[in-house]
Structure 1
Amino acid sequence: MTLEACAALVERGDPDRFRVAMAAPPPAREILFPLYAFNLEVARAPWVTKEPMLAEMRLQWWRDVVETAATGGTPPAHEVARPLGDLIREGRLSAEPLDALIEARRRDIEAEPFTAAELRPHLEGTAGNLLWAGAQALGEADRNAVVKAGFAAGLASWLLALPDLAAANRGLADPSNATVRALAEEGLTALAQARRTRFGPGVPALRAATLARPVLKAVQADPEAALQGGLAPPEGRKRLRLLWAALRGGW
């Protein structure tokens, strides 16, 4: 039930966000590590069981954690729920985007492909709300711009995972090159719009979107590679890109 436990979970399960949090100032890490660990737990819930009812129960458990903390109650003695709940009780983290994120994850319980029209609201609800929760907690105010960046980041990750998603019948209803390219272009547009915003204290959280553009550009150029799983950037290149963003104070 410590920050270190959350950091260890994120390091194992979400190494890119681990690097984002480690590049942030220590006070920001106190928020980002529990937040990212919470996201891991919620994102896994629809995948760890084939029983939809059990997945629903897992997500409801997290909704109860968030609601209990938001109303001043004591969160359960759980390595992620307790530090997350404490942040909510102390007013350092808003419950609203977290609850919306959990609700959006319910769509992942359904083993059904996404239409292109369904995908953006889903990613805004998941990755968008995650980015907004972190940026808002650090003092950012422009939700619309942050959610656009979150959508682009979520889309890049989703496209990298597309072969596995398709194998689980959770990919695209129309997995054509044209559809995949159009999605990448939509993500690039959203990212460009977000980058026109002058962000301030929320930049350490926004660095979670730093890796989106090269992935989306690669998908735009070669959508077939996304369908075949050939676009994962080298780890060294990702580390350098995140380091460069942190050194220049941007994202």
Structure 2
Amino acid sequence: MSLEACAALVERGDPDRFRVAMAAPPPAREILFPLYAFNLEIARAPWATREPMLAEMRLQWWRDQVAACAAGMLPPPHEVLTPLGQLLRESRLDPAPLDALIETRRRDIEAEPFLADDLRTYLEGTAGNLLWAGAKALGSPEPTRPAALQAGFASGLASWLLALPELSARNRGLADETPATIRALATDALAALAKARRTRFGPGTPALRAATLAAPVLRAARHDPDAALQGRLAPPEGPKRLRLLWATLRGGW
């Protein structure tokens, strides 16, 4: 029940965000690793059972625990909740975006495809709130929140498109799963990413590096939407690592 345990969970379950956290200064890792491990727990909860009521109960448990920790209460022993709860009790994490993230994840309980407009709302609520929680905890000012949600939409869509074949097989893809719809989503996300990058996030910038890897995936989806439908979007590991390294060296994202 430590930072190391959270880091190990993220390394196994979310290797891209693991690299983002490792590229951040050590004090930032104390926030990012528990936050990213929490995100994994929430993302998995609706998929861990076929019973909607049990999935609801899992998410509600997390919601209750976040609220209790933010109010100063000690959580039950848990490898993720223990370090996360400490950050909440010390007011180093804002519980609001975490609560909003959990609430948005309720949509995953429904085995229904997304309308394109609803997908953007969902991605801002999940990946967007995750980015904002990290950026705010590291020191980004409140006015940067809309840009963080835009960056989250772009980052979330890139990850979502990489998983599209599996999501579609589970009836959780797009209601209008056509190349035109995918191209339009990728185009909108690239525009949102470009707009977000004009915002200065200050000390919260390391948290935004989770969106650094989105642009190549989105450009590929815009150029060849069938690649998303056929599971051919994944970029090579080498260029991904170099892209993150370059963003870190120049202090941007």
TM tier relative to shorter chain: over 0.9
1:70 Cα deviation (Å)? 1.0
- In the other structure, the counterpart of 1:247 is 249
Structure 1 residue 250: Cα displacement:
0.8
1:149 matched residue in structure 2? 151
Gaps of 5+ in 1: none
Number of residues of Structure 1 aligned to a counterpart in Structure 2: 251
Contact 2:21 2:33 in 1 (8 A): yes
- Pairs within 5 Å for 1:1-251: 1-141=1-141, 142-251=144-253
Aligned equivalents of 1:185 and 1:75: distance in 2? 43
Secondary structure at the aligned position of 1:35 is classed as helix
More off after superposition, 56-65 vs 97-106: 56-65
On the 8 A contact 2:135/2:201 being kept in 1, the answer is no
Amino acid at match of 1:18: F
RMSD of Structure 2 on Structure 1 (CA):
0.6
Give the ranges of 4+ consecutive aligned residues of structure 1 lying more than 4 Å apart after TM superposition. none
In the aligned structure 1, how far is the partner of 2:100 from the partner of 2:63?
Answer: 9
Distance 1:19 1:51 in 2: 34
TM-score (norm 1): 0.99
Cα distance, 1:196 vs. partner?
A: 1.1
What secondary structure is seen at the aligned counterpart in 1 of 2:46? coil
The offset of 1:248, in angstroms, is 1.0
Tell me the TM-score normalized by structure 2.
0.98
Deviation (angstroms), 1:249: 0.8
Deviation readout 1:6-64 (Å, 9 max, x if unpaired) = 00000000000000000000000000000000000000001111111111011011101
Rounded to whole Å, the distance in 2 between the matches of 1:199 and 1:83 is: 25
Q: Distance in 2 between matches of 1:233 and 1:169?
A: 25
Q: Which secondary structure does the structure 2 equivalent of 1:175 belong to? A: coil
How far apart are the structure 1 equivalents of 2:60 and 2:92?
Answer: 22
SS of equivalent to 1:111: coil
Query: Which runs of no fewer than 5 residues in structure 2 stay unpaired?
Result: none
Question: Shift in Å at residue 197 of structure 1?
Answer: 1.1
Letter of the aligned partner of 1:172 in structure 2?
L
Give yes or no for contact 2:3–2:34 (8 Å, CA) kept in 1: yes
Task: Return the letter of the residue paired with 2:99.
Answer: D
Tell me the CA shift for residue 231 of structure 1. 0.7
* CA distance in 2: counterparts of 1:72 and 1:16, whole angstroms: 32
Give, as a single letter, the amino acid of the residue that structure 2 aligns with 1:31. Answer: I
CA shift for structure 1 position 76 = 1.4
Q: How many Å apart are 1:241 and its aligned residue?
A: 0.8
| Local SS of the residue matching 2:200 | coil
Distance 1:238 1:52 in 2: 36
Deviations 1:79-134 (A, max 9, x none): 00010011000010000000000000000000000000110010000000000000
- What fraction of aligned residue pairs are identical, expressed as a percent? 77
